A and B are shown apart, each in its own frame.
Chain A
Amino acid sequence: MPAPNDSVFRATGLTKVYRNGALEVQALRGIDFHARRGEFIVILGPSGSGKSTFLNIVGGLDRASGGEVWFEDHQLTGLNEAQLTQYRRDHVGFVFQFYNLVPSLTARENVQLVTEIARHPMQADHALALVGLSDRANHFPAQLSGGEQQRVAIARAIAKNPEVLLCDEPTGALDSATGIKVLEALTEVNRTVGATTLVITHNAAIRDIADRVIRFADGRIVEESGNAAKRQPSEVAW
Chain B
Amino acid sequence: MVIPPLRRKVLRDLRRLWAQVLAIALVLAAGVATLILGNGAYASLNETRARYYEDNRFADIFADVTRAPRALLAEIEAIDGVLDAEARIVKLGLLDLPGTVEPASVLFVSLPGGDGAGLNRLYLRQGRLPDPQSAQEIVVSEGFATALRLGPGDRLPVLMNGQRRDLKITGVALSPEFIYALGPGQIMPDPRRFGVVWATRASLEAAFDLDGAFSNVVLKLAPGTNPDRVIETLDRLAARYGGTGASGRKDQISHAFLDAELKQLSAMVKVLPPIFLAVAAMLVNMTLSRLIALEREQIGLLKAIGYSARAVAQHYVEFVLLIAVAGILIGFAAGAWLGAGLAQMYARFFSFPYLVFTRDPQLYGVAALITLAAAVGGALYAVRSVLRLPPAVAMAPPAPAAYRRRMGGLRRLLRLRQTGVMVARHLMRWPFRTASSTLGVAMSVAILVASLWTFGSINRMIEITFFRTERHDAQIFFGAPAPLAAIFAAAHLPGVMMVEPFRQVSVRISHRALSKKLAITGRPEHPRLSRVLDLDLRPMPMPEAGLVLSEALADALRVRPGDLVTVEALEGRRPTVMLPVSGLSVGYVGLGAAMEIGALNRMMREGAMVSGVSLKIDPSATTAFFAAAKTAPKTELVNVTALMLDRFRQTMAENITIMITVYVVLAGIIAMGVVYNFSRIALSEQGRELASLRVLGFTTAEVSGVLFGELATVVLLAQPLGWLIGYGIGLAMVAAFSSDLFRVPYVVGREVFATASLVVCAAALISAIAIRGRINHLDMIEVLKTRE
User: A: which residues have CB within 8 A of B?
Assistant: 52, 56, 61-62, 82, 85-90, 92, 94, 96-98, 100-106, 109-110, 112-114, 116-117, 138, 140-142, 156, 168
Q: How many residues of B contact A (CB 8 A)?
A: 34
Per-residue CB proximity of B759-788 to A under 8 Å, as 1/0? 000000000000000000000110111111
Contact B426 A85 (CB under 8 A): no
Which of these, B401, B699, B784, B786, contacts A82 with CB under 8 Å?
B699
Contact B689 A61 (CB under 8 A): no
Q: Which residue of B lies closest to A142 (CB)?
A: B400
Residues from chain A with Cβ under 8 Å of B643 in the complex: none
- Known: A88-B695, A88-B696, A104-B403; 11 extra A-B contacts, CB below 8 A, are A56-B781, A62-B781, A94-B696, A97-B785, A98-B784, A100-B689, A102-B693, A105-B421, A105-B425, A109-B421, A168-B784
Contact A89 B419 (CB under 8 A): no
Which of these, A100, A105, A168, contacts B688 with CB under 8 Å?
A100
Contact A100 B400 (CB under 8 A): no
Contact B426 A100 (CB under 8 A): no
Q: Which residue of B lies closest to A89 (CB)?
A: B697
Contact A117 B698 (CB under 8 A): yes
Contact status of A90 and B697, CB under 8 A, knowing A100-B692, A109-B421: yes
- CA–CA, A105 and B417, complex, Å: 11
Contact A113 B784 (CB under 8 A): no
Contact B697 A85 (CB under 8 A): yes
Which of these, A90, A142, A156, contacts B403 with CB under 8 Å?
A142
Scan residues 692-749 of chain B and give those whose CB is less than 8 A from a CB of chain A. 692-700, 702
- CA–CA, A238 and B422, complex, Å: 38
Contact B697 A142 (CB under 8 A): no
User: B: which residues have CB within 8 A of A?
Assistant: 399-403, 405, 417-419, 421-422, 425-426, 429, 688-689, 692-700, 702, 780-781, 783-788
Contact status of A100 and B418, CB under 8 A, knowing A86-B697, A94-B695, A142-B403: no
Contact A61 B695 (CB under 8 A): yes
- CA–CA, A90 and B401, complex, Å: 31
- CA–CA, A106 and B425, complex, Å: 11
Please provide the 4 A-B residue pairs with the shortest distance between their CB atoms, ordered closest to farther: A89-B697, A104-B425, A88-B697, A142-B400
Q: Which residue of A lies closest to B703 (CB)?
A: A85
Contact B784 A103 (CB under 8 A): no
Contact status of A89 and B698, CB under 8 A, knowing A105-B422, A141-B400, A142-B401: yes
Contact status of A103 and B781, CB under 8 A, knowing A85-B699, A94-B696, A117-B697: no
Contact B784 A102 (CB under 8 A): no
Which of these, B402, B689, B786, contacts A102 with CB under 8 Å?
B689
Contact B402 A142 (CB under 8 A): yes
Contact status of A102 and B692, CB under 8 A, knowing A85-B699, A96-B784, A142-B403: yes
- CA–CA, A109 and B420, complex, Å: 11
Q: Which residue of B lies closest to A104 (CB)?
A: B425
Q: How far is the CB of A221 from chain B (nearest CB, A)?
A: 21
Q: Which residue of B lies closest to A86 (CB)?
A: B697
Q: Which residue of B lies closest to A81 (CB)?
A: B700
Which of these, A52, A100, A103, A168, contacts B401 with CB under 8 Å?
A103
Contact B695 A100 (CB under 8 A): yes
- CA–CA, A100 and B697, complex, Å: 14
Q: Which residue of A lies closest to B401 (CB)?
A: A103
- CA–CA, A82 and B426, complex, Å: 28
Residues from chain B with Cβ under 8 Å of A104 in the complex: 401, 403, 421-422, 425-426, 429, 689
Contact B689 A103 (CB under 8 A): yes
Contact B688 A116 (CB under 8 A): no
Contact A61 B421 (CB under 8 A): no
Q: How far is the CB of B719 from chain A (nearest CB, A)?
A: 25
Contact status of A61 and B422, CB under 8 A, knowing A92-B697, A104-B429, A142-B402: no
- CA–CA, A56 and B693, complex, Å: 15
Contact A106 B405 (CB under 8 A): yes
Residues from chain B with Cβ under 8 Å of A109 in the complex: 418, 421
Show 26 A/B contacts (Cβ-Cβ < 8 Å), sorted by A: A61-B780, A61-B781, A85-B694, A85-B697, A85-B699, A89-B696, A89-B699, A97-B784, A98-B786, A98-B788, A100-B688, A100-B692, A100-B695, A100-B784, A104-B401, A104-B426, A104-B689, A105-B425, A106-B405, A110-B418, A113-B419, A114-B696, A117-B698, A138-B405, A141-B400, A142-B401
